[in-house]
Chain A
Amino acid sequence: MTNLDAPGSRRRLTGWGRTVPSVAHVARPGSPEALETLVATASARGATARGLGRAYGDAAQNGGGIVLDCTALDGIGAIDVGAGGATITVGGGTSLEAILRAVLPAGWCLPVLPGTRHVTVGGAIAADVHGKNHHRVGAFSAHVEAFTLHAATGERRTVTRASDPVLFEATTGGMGLTGVIIDATLCLVPIETRLMRVTTMHTADLDATMRALADADGGHAYSVAWLDLASGRGRGMVGAADHATRADAPDASLEAAPRALRLTTPPLPVSVVNRATVRVFNEAWFRRPVPREALQPIESYLAPLDALDAWPRLYGPGGLLQYQCALPAGEEPALRAIVEAIRHAPTVPALAVLKRFGPGSDAPLSFPLEGWTLAVDFPAGHAALGAFLDTLDERVAAAGGRVYLAKDARMRAEIVPLMYPRLDEWRETQSRMDPRGIFTSDLDRRLHLTRGSQA
């Protein structure tokens, strides 16, 4: 029965990939107290937190229940410079973009930045996002000193690694199912300029790309490879980078760079991403003149797609699926086999990115594990893609790897415990924090993450 008393307006929501819509009651609490009231009104369909909607699948959807738009729980405190370094306390709904605007001019940067700046701190913790420097510094949660969690019971708790390591780790990577992040204290790292010194290498095939990435990781803080899986032998480009020092760029200012041109994508009636357009794009991308060494703004190296707003619209009404998996070090043969399979996928692998992960964290549902991570965008909506990706899941699980929950819209529940073997341990903590099963989501119901998700 439609719950007419439910707060907020009924809205159809999807993730960033624009697939699997559901309709929920969306409410935007302006304060922790308003959040508390909303969580207390949750019906059997529960509640879930949503930030800027960058999870690709259904993680921040909750069909028939409440979706808490947390973007008004924002706010940026002063930079607190102490003996051990600097920290900043921000609202859980604050975007990384807003934090960068505040801290970069003062000579500080966030130690981990994912592929887009348009995510909230709460979302970054819930997905335990990673950046191109994971091999050096780990994931986002490694640099979180503390956060305040609004639990399902109404309790508000400040959590640090020391005060409650089990809850801290269940929340980092916990997809928002242990509670809502109201605020967080994040570590900052000093920078001398707002630029990155980027070295670009062209590689002929996958093995060369993997070697170049491994070499780059020894000498550079950041590294990532773009792969062309739509044609040829799987050529690629490896971009390795470090924060530029004042010596690298004596004239560089820490003040805001002139606002770059920001393009947007209109809604398109059909997809413009197909084998032919991808081949043409990849050819042009690979052939474009790139200096071997160049200085680039931090934002454009770390989040190149942020320059094109709403880019998933390029995939038309069908949307896109991003498949991101991690494979342990030593499983290079499995990685090669998976890449080879993807080159012959039912729909074109439009954008493929490979990078090396450093050691993973102790969080049971955190995605990164030491080895490799591969992310591939496919146009969705092709019937045969489902069975194909199911077979990839099996290969990934068999190799001791896993699929990133923040990207997923299609995995089957049975495979999750194989990829995340500590799922039961996480469920223990989650159900202790949320005994009535209030926090849930479409992702949770699909993958049976929480104990209450099948009720």
Chain B
Amino acid sequence: MTSPLGHPRTVLILGGGSDIAFAIARALIARGTGAFVLAGRHPDVIEARAAALRAAGATAVEVAAFDAEQIDAHEAIVAQAFQRARAISGDVDLALIAFGLIDEASVLDETPAAAGHVAMVNFAGAVSSGLAVAQQLSAQGHGTLVVLSSLAGQRSRPSILPYGAAKAGLDAFTSGLEEALRGSGVRVVSVRPGWVRTRMTANRRSAPFATSPERVASDVLRGLDRGDRVVWTPRLLRLVAPILRLMPRGVFRLLARSR
């Protein structure tokens, strides 16, 4: 159970190699979270993260194999992850969908297959694994699902179009899922960061409102404490996002071209 002092005891992370997830996990440990199940695609990365979380003070960390594109396996993998969480600690109090894949090239230079993979991971993979988690949380009658989305879901520029389009779809799914879960005891939080300096974005030029995984983590924890349904990070994006959505195409084009 999430403690009455506001920290989850047991956390499941899908996309356990994510830098943002890692920062959130460390922030949670500092508050008293003990147990983690990390699921991800690269065993060596996940194992290294697990070791780092143990060193940071986690009492129990389990690892599991998870591939966002293997949609047919998600239900079973998530069910197993919940079982493992119960074996080491208890019900999953907080589940984090943290995996993502970003485009390697601007859309017209991208292979259609690569674009499809980006859409698959960020949208379809998040839908199926997110739903599997939501069903498990609903069946236990409590818990929080945190979905990492992006400011790019508000309006996509050509350089990361499939990514932004997938995040837009994911936001629609997340807000509808939250409505469907009303009365189930399950809470859904959508996290929408601007540009975050991580491994995923390492080879790319930074964008306005760039931030760090640690800042994202502290904003996420603040949002969890406050009961927010959407966490913008940096927090100023709450005001920027509607402007971005509504600005004339010409202005947006100028901004996007400068990137």
Given contacts A3-B139, A21-B142, A64-B140, contact A445 B90 (CB under 8 A): yes
B183 touches A23 (CB 8 A): yes
Which of B4-12, B122-130, B158-166 is the interface stretch? B4-12
Complexed CA–CA distance, A387 and B31 (Å): 8
Given contacts A2-B139, A12-B185, contact A385 B91 (CB under 8 A): no
Determine whether B258 belongs to the interface, using a CB cutoff of 8 Å to chain A: no
Given contacts A2-B135, A10-B183, contact A63 B5 (CB under 8 A): no
What residues of chain B lie closer than 8 Å to A385, measured between beta carbons? 5
A1 touches B139 (CB 8 A): yes
State the Cβ distance, A13 to closest chain B Cβ, in Å.
9
Given contacts A23-B184, A386-B32, contact A58 B3 (CB under 8 A): no
A321 touches B4 (CB 8 A): yes
A446 touches B86 (CB 8 A): no
Q: How many residues of B contact A (CB 8 A)?
A: 24
State the Cβ distance, B124 to closest chain A Cβ, in Å.
21
What residues of chain A lie closer than 8 Å to B34, measured between beta carbons? 412
Chain B 79-121 near chain A by CB (<8 Å), digits 1 or 0: 0000000110011000000000000000000000000000000
Complexed CA–CA distance, A17 and B3 (Å): 12
A454 touches B86 (CB 8 A): yes
Complexed CA–CA distance, A17 and B5 (Å): 12
What residues of chain B lie closer than 8 Å to A20, measured between beta carbons? 1-4, 142
Determine whether B154 belongs to the interface, using a CB cutoff of 8 Å to chain A: no
Complexed CA–CA distance, A381 and B183 (Å): 22
Q: Which residue from A19, A64, A383 sits with its C-beta under 8 Å from B139? A: A64
B90 touches A383 (CB 8 A): no
Given contacts A10-B184, A45-B140, contact A381 B5 (CB under 8 A): yes
State the Cβ distance, B223 to closest chain A Cβ, in Å.
14
Determine whether A24 belongs to the interface, using a CB cutoff of 8 Å to chain B: yes
Chain A 367-401 near chain B by CB (<8 Å), digits 1 or 0: 00000000000001111011100100000000000
State the Cβ distance, B78 to closest chain A Cβ, in Å.
12
Determine whether A442 belongs to the interface, using a CB cutoff of 8 Å to chain B: yes
Complexed CA–CA distance, A319 and B2 (Å): 14
What residues of chain B lie closer than 8 Å to A143, measured between beta carbons? none
Chain B 1-42 near chain A by CB (<8 Å), digits 1 or 0: 111111101000000000000000000000110100000000
Closest to B3 in A: A410
State the Cβ distance, A313 to closest chain B Cβ, in Å.
16
What residues of chain B lie closer than 8 Å to A62, measured between beta carbons? 141
Complexed CA–CA distance, A358 and B170 (Å): 61
Query: Could you write out 27 A-B pairs with CB less than 8 Å apart?
Result: A2-B138, A3-B139, A12-B185, A17-B4, A20-B4, A21-B142, A22-B1, A23-B185, A24-B141, A57-B4, A63-B141, A64-B138, A64-B139, A64-B141, A380-B5, A381-B4, A383-B31, A385-B5, A390-B32, A409-B1, A410-B5, A412-B34, A445-B86, A446-B90, A448-B90, A454-B86, A454-B87
Q: Which residue from B4, B9, B91, B135 sits with its C-beta under 8 Å from A19? A: B4
Q: Which residue from B7, B31, B142 sits with its C-beta under 8 Å from A23? A: B142
Within 8 A of B (CB), among A13-55: 17, 19-24, 45
B7 touches A386 (CB 8 A): yes
The 9 closest A-B pairs by CB, nearest first: A63-B141, A23-B185, A19-B4, A386-B5, A64-B141, A23-B141, A22-B142, A64-B140, A380-B4
Q: How many residues of A contact B (CB 8 A)?
A: 39
B139 touches A381 (CB 8 A): no
- Grouping DSSP codes into helix (H, G, I), strand (E, B) and loop, the A interface class, with mixed when no group exceeds half, is loop
Complexed CA–CA distance, A24 and B185 (Å): 9
What residues of chain A lie closer than 8 Å to B3, measured between beta carbons? 20, 386, 409-410
Within 8 A of B (CB), among A406-455: 409-410, 412-413, 442, 445-446, 448, 454-455
Complexed CA–CA distance, A21 and B4 (Å): 9
Interface centre among B1, B90, B138 (most CB of A within 10 A): B1
State the Cβ distance, A444 to closest chain B Cβ, in Å.
10
Complexed CA–CA distance, A65 and B138 (Å): 11
A445 touches B91 (CB 8 A): yes
Q: Which residue from B4, B86, B91, B184 sits with its C-beta under 8 Å from A2? A: B184
Given contacts A62-B141, A386-B5, A410-B4, could you give 19 more A-B pairs where the C-beta distance is less than 8 Å? A1-B135, A1-B138, A2-B139, A12-B183, A20-B4, A22-B1, A23-B184, A24-B141, A63-B1, A63-B91, A63-B140, A64-B141, A321-B4, A381-B5, A381-B6, A386-B3, A386-B32, A454-B86, A454-B87
What residues of chain B lie closer than 8 Å to A442, measured between beta carbons? 1
What residues of chain A lie closer than 8 Å to B4, measured between beta carbons? 17, 19-20, 57, 319, 321, 380-381, 409-410
A45 touches B139 (CB 8 A): yes
State the Cβ distance, A10 to closest chain B Cβ, in Å.
6
Complexed CA–CA distance, A64 and B6 (Å): 21
Complexed CA–CA distance, A190 and B135 (Å): 56
